[in-house]
């Protein structure tokens, strides 16, 4: 919606009310309001002005110039979130969500999969190798427990130095690293089956599915819309003996998975194993979240385009103001140069007149014996005076139509 601001009325408001109140009234940003003030030649109050008013002191307003080349300013009101939402997108999203929630479209997880998606191949190899390594270490720990020891001391994990698979929670990937698979040997095959089912569903929905690095987060994307998935095994605090000196907590896997969905501009969503359902039963929620993100990104894209357009408008206003100020400075410099030239011409004319007066005075005092020599000097002196006199040059410029400077 186009709004026009009148120069005098805006000047009164700017000096009577804070910028925030005016921006709220006219639905415009503070940068746009400042640009409007500059375009209309309205002086803006400083913080000191408002501080004086707050303490009850008299504060003088900067005067508004009566003559100015612009008296109104037209602008587009700041759009609300609803202005960036299109009915077509909402209808598209409604159909997508309805399709995902239909019973016949529910995603089925086959374990083990009969067909593996290529994007899962590398992470599958990595997790299988890690599972073999961790199982071997756990077997070594179990064997160590059976070795003969002091009768008064039983074997237990070294919780003060959590470097082994038992103390570290038996996870296949360091639990402090960024990963899409934080699982144990007991759950990694199930996690891979879930990831493979999601990958296959992405292909049928024309979505891009990728696993970053070897075991990094799972990323689903379409154009600018992106969500990140992570399969994490739920943990429980390990009951540690009183002899443990380490102040940090230690966690153990629970064989229960959680699918964490991260999205730009929103909080994380979790699908967690429970008594009523498994993660596998609710995989369509991943795509419901993805379709919502697609619509959200479209809205944010329109918002970014609007903000970019507003920045370009403000930049154009600033450029116009700079051009006008430069033109004003150029006119002022030209006028100052004309004045300086006029003063110089007047001084030259005064010098020429003094020379002529001096020659005239000398003519009255010359004697007959010096008459010839004086005549030569007089002609030379008058030539000098004529050269100093700018009057002839002034009239010549006027006749030629040039503005005298």
Give tens-digit pLDDT for 156-167.
555 444 445 544
pLDDT of residue 167: 44
Q: Is the dihedral of CA 127, 132, 136, 138 positive or negative?
A: positive
For residue 147, count CB atoms less than 10 angstroms from its CB and return exposed for 0-12, middle for 13-18, buried for 19 or more. Answer: exposed
Q: How far apart are CA 364 and CA 289, in angstroms?
A: 111
d(CA 270, CA 184): 19
Supply the pLDDT for residue 163.
46
Give the Å distances, CA to CA, from 343 to 224, 348, 349, 393: 68, 9, 10, 15
CA–CA gap between residue 350 and residue 335 (Å, rounded): 22
Q: Measured between alpha carbons, how far apart are the two ends of the chain, in Å?
A: 50
Point out which residues pair with 103 in neighbouring strands.
none
Under a CB-based contact definition with an 8 Å cutoff, are residues 193 and 112 in contact? yes
User: pLDDT tens across 196-214, in order?
Assistant: 999 999 999 999 999 887 6
Placement of tokens 């969905």 in the chain: 261
Q: What is the pLDDT of residue 264?
A: 85
Determine the pLDDT at residue 93: 94
With CA atoms as reference, report the closest residue to 280 among 257, 255, 254, 253: 257
Query: Which two tokens mark 70?
Result: 């612009």
158 contacts 164 by C-beta, under 8 angstroms: yes
How far apart (Å, rounded) are the C-alpha atoms in residues 276 and 103?
17
Give me 258's structure tokens.
Answer: 């959680």
d(CA 164, CA 23): 62
* Contact in structure between 231 and 191 (CB atoms under 8 Å): yes
Which of 160, 156, 157, 158 lies closest to 246, judged by CA?
160
Q: Which residues are within 8 A (CB) of 182 and not within 5 positions of it... i.e. 6 or more apart?
A: 171, 173, 175, 230, 231, 232, 233
In the DSSP assignment, the letter for residue 186 is T
Q: Looking at the DSSP assignment, which residues form a beta bridge with residue 220? A: 209, 227
Tens of pLDDT, residues 247-257: 555 667 788 99
Residues 249 and 266 sit within 8 Å (Cβ to Cβ): no
157, two tokens: 């994990």
What local confidence, expressed as pLDDT, does residue 168 receive? 45
pLDDT along the chain (405 residues), means of 10: 83 90 85 85 89 88 81 72 83 95 93 90 87 80 63 50 48 63 88 94 93 82 92 77 54 85 88 92 95 92 86 83 85 91 92 92 84 88 90 81 62
CA-nearest of 181, 175, 174, 213 to 196 is: 181
Three-state secondary structure call for residue 4: strand
Asked if residues 206 and 222 have their Cβ atoms less than 8 Å apart, the reply is yes
What pLDDT is attached to residue 217?
A: 86
CB within 8 A of 365, min separation 6: which ones? none
| Alpha carbons 290 and 26: distance in angstroms, whole number | 36
Separation between Cα atoms, residue 191 and residue 69, nearest integer Å: 70
Over the stretch 239-287, which tens digit does the pLDDT of each residue have? 655 554 555 556 677 889 999 999 887 889 999 999 899 999 999 999 9
Cα–Cα distance, 25 to 20 (Å, whole number):
9
**Per-residue confidence (pLDDT) for residue 239, from 0 to 100:** 65
Q: How far apart are CA 222 and CA 220, in angstroms?
A: 7
pLDDT at residue 266, as a whole number: 80
């Amino acid at each position: 919606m186009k709004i026009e601001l009148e120069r005098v009325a805006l000047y009164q408001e700017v000096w009577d009310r804070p910028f925030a109140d005016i921006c709220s009234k006219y639905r415009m940003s503070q940068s746009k309001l400042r640009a409007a003030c500059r375009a209309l030649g309205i002086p803006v109050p400083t913080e000191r002005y408002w501080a004086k008013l707050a303490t009850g002191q008299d504060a003088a307003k900067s005067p508004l110039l009566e003559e100015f080349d612009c008296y109104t300013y037209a602008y587009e009101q700041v759009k609300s979130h609803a202005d960036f939402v299109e009915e077509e997108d909402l209808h598209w999203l409604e159909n997508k969500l309805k399709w995902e929630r239909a019973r016949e479209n529910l995603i089925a997880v086959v374990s083990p999969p009969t067909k593996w998606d290529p994007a899962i191949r590398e992470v599958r190899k990595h997790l299988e190798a890690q599972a073999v390594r961790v199982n071997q270490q756990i077997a070594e720990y179990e064997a160590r427990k059976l070795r003969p020891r002091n009768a008064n001391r039983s074997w237990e994990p070294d919780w003060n130095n959590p470097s082994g698979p038992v103390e570290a929670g038996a996870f296949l990937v360091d639990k402090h690293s960024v990963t899409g698979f934080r699982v144990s040997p007991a759950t990694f095959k199930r996690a891979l089956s879930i990831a493979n089912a999601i990958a296959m569903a992405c292909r049928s929905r024309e979505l891009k599915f990728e696993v970053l690095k070897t075991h990094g987060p799972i990323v689903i994307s379409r154009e600018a819309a992106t969500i990140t998935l992570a399969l994490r095994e739920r943990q429980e605090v390990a009951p540690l003996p009183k002899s443990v000196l380490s102040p940090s907590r230690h966690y153990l896997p629970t064989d229960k998975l959680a699918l964490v969905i991260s999205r730009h501009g929103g909080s994380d969503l979790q699908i967690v194993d429970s008594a009523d359902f498994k993660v596998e039963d609710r995989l369509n929620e991943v795509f419901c979240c993805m379709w919502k993100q697609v619509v959200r990104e479209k809205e944010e894209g329109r918002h970014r385009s609007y903000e970019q357009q507003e920045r370009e408008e403000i930049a154009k206003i600033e450029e116009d103001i700079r051009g006008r100020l430069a033109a004003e400075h150029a006119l002022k410099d030209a006028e100052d140069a004309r004045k300086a030239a006029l003063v110089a011409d007047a001084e030259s004319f005064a010098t020429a007149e003094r020379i002529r007066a001096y020659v005239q005075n000398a003519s009255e005092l010359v004697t007959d014996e010096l008459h010839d020599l004086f005549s030569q000097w007089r002609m030379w002196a008058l030539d000098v005076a004529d050269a100093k006199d700018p009057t002839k040059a002034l009239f010549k410029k006027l006749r030629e139509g040039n503005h005298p400077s």
